[in-house]
Amino acid sequence: MKQPKPYKLKKRKNGIYYVIDKITKKAKSLKTTDKEEADELAKAEYHIFDGLNASHHMKMAEAHLAHCNPEWNTNKWGMVADGVINGPRRGGLGGEKKPQTVLTLQTFWNNKCWDHMRDKRLIDTLPSDFLRALEKTGAGNLKFGRQLHSYAVGHKMMAAAIMGTEVWPIRQRKGPRSLTITVEEHLKVAKYVSEGGNRLFTQYPNRHKGTTSKQWRDEWTAFLPFLWWTGASQSDAANMTAEGIKWDEGVLEYKRGKWMHPEKHAPVRVAIAKGGELEKLLKSRPKEGCLFPLLASITASNRSRFFRDTCNWCDIRKGVSLHGYRFALAERAKENGMSAADLMTTLGHSDMNMTHHYDQNAKVIPQSIEVLDGGLKVA
């Protein structure tokens, strides 16, 4: 036998439906002019589940969520991504993200793997949606997916977490992110760039009016040896200025672009050997302003892409990147006896563990204890 409803609906003159409790006689506006919707909202108000179908229960669930937080029914993953990409820095640091960080996050969100989730509501999302997105992607997109989920949960954009800790897939890198570039590989690439002719650089003048292929070739020809002798990251190197050259002290000094609070760090200082290759290179660059103005005008990904293509043309090992120059300097410095303190200063590290990350594969030949202590002294 069908149970009588504990309420009744009443339509006011303005067309809005009200629900009236049959016992208390109290009335409450349902804020809708649709009778069917009003009945669903009333059922949700009185926790009535008549087992009609999934759609019916979904509507009641959404009604409950709307009473708690109306935004839970409208939040979509595109809104979450916007917060992750353009919101303040994480970890309670606050402040704006660096442009490169924003660009990196946007690149992850632009990946096609997220296409089926861009306009999907958070309340309609299942674990299978995340697993589908991450099925054939690498560690980068997995980390970004975790960021999306954490942001949504942390900012109360959904009522409950979708992915439990053990549900997320595991991605393990097959090898190091960047391989050390060897001296043979550096010389091979540098020669190819300098002797390859303007044909390698025809793309640049088309996209950067007022420049020539020769100008781009000359900058790349100087840029690669600069990385070899300084060990700077490609972004720091591209934005290096002539004002950072302290000729009286014999050092190249600069602040790293990745530092959020540069004033709290001692500057990176790279020694300039008198009469050496780095000194000659620096003297050939502009006397003021940016040392590599053209390369500074393009993105890090653009520079990486050009170098990767060049490595392919030169048949260089897969995995060698511009960051490999940083590893190369660290390993050469350690192998040739540079002190740990000097190497930290050259690379711009404040933590010896980070420096060791770069020089750990150096092939050091230890000194003989027999030579150091002068041999066994016997009467």
Q: What is the CATH number of the domain that holds 57?
A: 3.30.160
Q: Distance (Å, rounded) from C-alpha 73 to C-alpha 66?
A: 7
Mean pLDDT: which of 14-28, 149-163, 233-247, 250-264 is highest?
233-247
Q: Answer yes or no: do 241 and 123 share one domain.
A: no
Q: Answer yes or no: do 251 and 339 share one domain.
A: yes
Mean pLDDT of 229-238: 96
Q: Answer yes or no: do 131 and 37 share one domain.
A: no
Q: Distance (Å, rounded) from C-alpha 145 to C-alpha 114?
A: 9
Asked, for residue 56, whether it belongs to a domain, the answer is: yes
Sheet containing strand 17-21, strands side by side: 7-11, 17-21, 27-29
User: Do 72 and 159 form a contact (C-beta atoms < 8 A)?
Assistant: yes
Asked, for residue 84, whether it belongs to a domain, the answer is: no
Asked, for residue 340, whether it belongs to a domain, the answer is: yes
Cα-based angle 10, 48, 64 (whole degrees, multiple of 5): 85
- Its pTM stands at 0.66
Q: Answer yes or no: do 239 and 304 share one domain.
A: yes
Give me the chain's average pLDDT, please. 87
Asked, for residue 165, whether it belongs to a domain, the answer is: no
If pLDDT is split at 50, 70 and 90, which confidence band does 269 have?
very high
Residues 6+ positions from 268 with CB-CB distance below 8 Å:
232, 236, 253, 254, 255, 256, 345, 346, 347, 348
Q: Answer yes or no: do 187 and 235 share one domain.
A: yes
Q: Distance (Å, rounded) from C-alpha 313 to C-alpha 310?
A: 5
Helices 340-347 and 324-335, interaxial angle, to 10°? Answer: 160
Q: Answer yes or no: do 100 and 196 share one domain.
A: no
Asked, for residue 86, whether it belongs to a domain, the answer is: no
* Residue 255 scores a pLDDT above 60: yes
Cα-based angle 183, 186, 190 (whole degrees, multiple of 5): 140
Q: Answer yes or no: do 305 and 208 share one domain.
A: yes
Asked, for residue 73, whether it belongs to a domain, the answer is: no
Q: What pLDDT is stored for residue 367 in this prediction?
A: 80
Q: Answer yes or no: do 254 and 326 share one domain.
A: yes
* More confident position, 368 or 339: 339
Asked, for residue 322, whether it belongs to a domain, the answer is: yes
Q: Answer yes or no: do 64 and 103 share one domain.
A: no
Q: Distance (Å, rounded) from C-alpha 340 to C-alpha 334?
A: 8
Q: Distance (Å, rounded) from C-alpha 263 to C-alpha 255?
A: 9
Write out pLDDT tens, residues 69-119. Answer: 778 788 899 999 999 999 988 766 667 888 878 888 999 999 999 999 999
Asked, for residue 369, whether it belongs to a domain, the answer is: no
Q: Which of 15, 48, 68 is the last residue of a domain?
A: 68
For residue 315, give both structure tokens: 């048949």
Number of domains into which the chain is organized: 3
Q: Answer yes or no: do 11 and 136 share one domain.
A: no
Residues 6+ positions from 369 with CB-CB distance below 8 Å:
none
Lowest-pLDDT choice from 30-39, 60-69, 162-171, 294-303: 60-69
Q: Answer yes or no: do 201 and 132 share one domain.
A: no
Q: What is the CATH number of the domain that holds 292?
A: 1.10.443.10
Range of the domain at 263: 183-359
Q: Answer yes or no: do 119 and 238 share one domain.
A: no
* Residue 56 scores a pLDDT above 60: no
